[in-house]
Amino acid sequence: MRLGIDFGTTRTVVAAVRGGRYPVASFQTADGFTEYLPGWAAFEEGQLQLGADVAVLPGIPLVRSVKATITGAAPDETVAALPGGRYSALELLTRYLVHVRQMLIDRSNLDIDPGEELEAMIAVPAHASTRQRYLTIEAFSRAGFTVAGLVNEPTAGAIEYARHTLGALSPRSQKRYVVVYDLGGGTFDTAAVSLVDRHFDLLGSEGIARLGGNNFDEVLADLVLEELGRSQEEVGERTYAHLLERCRLAKESLNPSSRRVLVDVAELFPVDQVVVNTSELYQRTTPLIERTLGAVQSILGALVEHGIDPENPREMGAVYLVGGSVQFPAVQRLLRTRFGRKVQLAPQPHAATAIGLAIAADPNAEIFVREVPTRHFGVWREGDLGREKIFDPIIEKRIGDEPQGPVRVERVYHPAHAVGRLRFVECTALGEDGQPQGEVTPWETILFPYDPALADRADLEPFCGGRGPSELQEEIVETYEYTPSGLIRIAIENRTRGYRREYVLGSSAHL
């Protein structure tokens, strides 16, 4: 069976491919039928509990988001938030995805045979590092899925938009661009995607980590505590965690005409419920939502710079709202005030990404996805002895609609050292001096023996910093390949002597 799996910060949603339709999986859980699995992990009674198996009462989930926990982690890094068990980021994610797979087989409405191959199209946030891409693909494979491909989340949203808006993806459609606005539980992402002739290109994206529906829950919890005259410290972590859950449920019941929100606090406090005026809640959440509008504005600005007119409805299809939190009434209201009729709400906002992925997994839909690097990728090299590190930007982040093929970059040089120490990093921006700025994600360091006398050595650390023999005349060639799924393959070769090493960025060992 082919599936689209949206592994989100707070929830995992799955859609299937079924004869031109893309039904959303529903799971039988302790809370009845749900169209998602929570992204939780907890260590309870000596056992790792995951997703739908984590009991909210009485235990507190120790990890409220498996995805947030592994984001930025190296695959073999131990997850500190689960003190009961020692799990690496890769193990934890694999175990979580095994749970997802098992739930699909045992407790979903999809009628999957236990031995059936599950071919999954998966996604990561547009700004995800290469390391996170690698970790995600690797964990899905280890959990028993066949990974059909990895795309950026907003691209999946755009595919879903195109399917029901442009009628069977008509090649004659005039609309060439859509801005996807994805507000989930824990993160916000916005991206411009071009859709011409069933080709989907991610033109550029902006994201705000740690901004989503969870923040609205916190604001509501603050209001409830204020009403009760209590503070977060006073009530303790455990009660606060339960209160957040109650606030989330109350928030999800809101509709645009709700004047008040009732939070059920029986069992937590001596009163049964607390009533909060929605006007107060919306007012306090407005600054958070304003931040997302700023990001959309900068995406629109970038489109203008590339000759695209967002005001022309023939060019710009919509600001398309996906993600569970776009159902929060204040979000839609603010967006409509700012962007007017351009705003369009996905019919199933919580499942739009998963449905888009299922469409991408469907060979009959004939979707073509082309992605551009969404971060700058480069390397800090050793300067001449005693000198500063030099930053070499190898693959630059791009925006615009210039034709883009697979990216392949080569560097050829004659080294001065016995061992090359290459410190890879990704960053969201480059300064005027060409140095990494913004969010910088340090990568692993690769050591390569320039000196042929060291060619077969595994441990090169002791030789670092030393000059190569003065007669060292080696020609070194580095090749970088940016694969369609966003991984970077590196080959370093001593061309003079004919030996090479290959690496996939994200995996710790060289191949």
The contact set with Mg ion (CB under 5 A) reads: 8, 184
**Minimum distance from CB of 404 to Mg ion (Å)?**
25
**Minimum distance from CB of 490 to ligand ATP (Å)?**
29
Torsion of CA 348, 53, 123, 330, to 10 degrees: 40
- Binding-site size for ligand ATP (CB under 6 A) equals 20
User: In the complex with Mg ion, which residue's Cβ is closer, 11 or 376?
Assistant: 11
Inter-residue contact 294 to 308 (CB < 8 Å): no
For the chain, the farthest-separated pair of C-alpha atoms sits apart, in whole angstroms, at 83
Q: Are strands 260-264 and 187-196 parallel, antiparallel or unpaired?
A: unpaired
Inter-residue contact 27 to 52 (CB < 8 Å): yes
99 contact choice in Mg ion, ligand ATP, none (CB below 5 to 8 Å, kind-dependent) = none
**Minimum distance from CB of 176 to Mg ion (Å)?**
25
374 contact choice in Mg ion, ligand ATP, none (CB below 5 to 8 Å, kind-dependent) = none
CB proximity list for 71: less than 8 A, separation 6 or greater: 128, 132, 209
278 contact choice in ligand ATP, Mg ion, none (CB below 5 to 8 Å, kind-dependent) = none
User: In the complex with Mg ion, which residue's Cβ is closer, 184 or 506?
Assistant: 184
213 contact choice in Mg ion, ligand ATP, none (CB below 5 to 8 Å, kind-dependent) = ligand ATP
**Minimum distance from CB of 1 to Mg ion (Å)?**
22
**Site membership for ligand ATP, residue 130 (CB under 6 A):** no
Tokens, residue 402:
């210039």
User: In the complex with ligand ATP, which residue's Cβ is closer, 7 or 145?
Assistant: 7
Best CA proximity match to 162, nearest among 21, 16, 365 = 365
Using CB under 6 A, which of 187, 285, 292, 494 touches ligand ATP? 187
Best CA proximity match to 219, nearest among 207, 232, 201, 206 = 232
Cβ atoms within 10 Å of 470's Cβ, excluding its own: 6
Q: Which residues of 56-76 are buried (b: 16+ CB within 10 A; e: fewer)?
A: eeeebbbbbbbbbbbbbbbbe
Touching ligand ATP, residues 310-369 (CB under 6 A): 323-325, 327-328, 350
Q: Which stretch binds ligand ATP (CB under 6 A): 180-188, 192-200, 201-209, 374-382?
A: 180-188
**Site membership for ligand ATP, residue 127 (CB under 6 A):** no
Best CA proximity match to 88, nearest among 99, 80, 79, 96 = 79
**Minimum distance from CB of 111 to Mg ion (Å)?**
26
Using CB under 6 A, which of 157, 184, 486, 506 touches ligand ATP? 184
**Minimum distance from CB of 510 to ligand ATP (Å)?**
32
Phi-psi region of 32 (alpha: psi -120 to 50; beta: other; left: phi over 0): left
User: In the complex with ligand ATP, which residue's Cβ is closer, 13 or 166?
Assistant: 13
- How many angstroms separate the CA atoms of 264 and 267, rounded? 9
| Footprint on this chain of ligand ATP (rule: CB under 6 A) | 8-11, 184-187, 212-214, 248, 251-252, 323-325, 327-328, 350
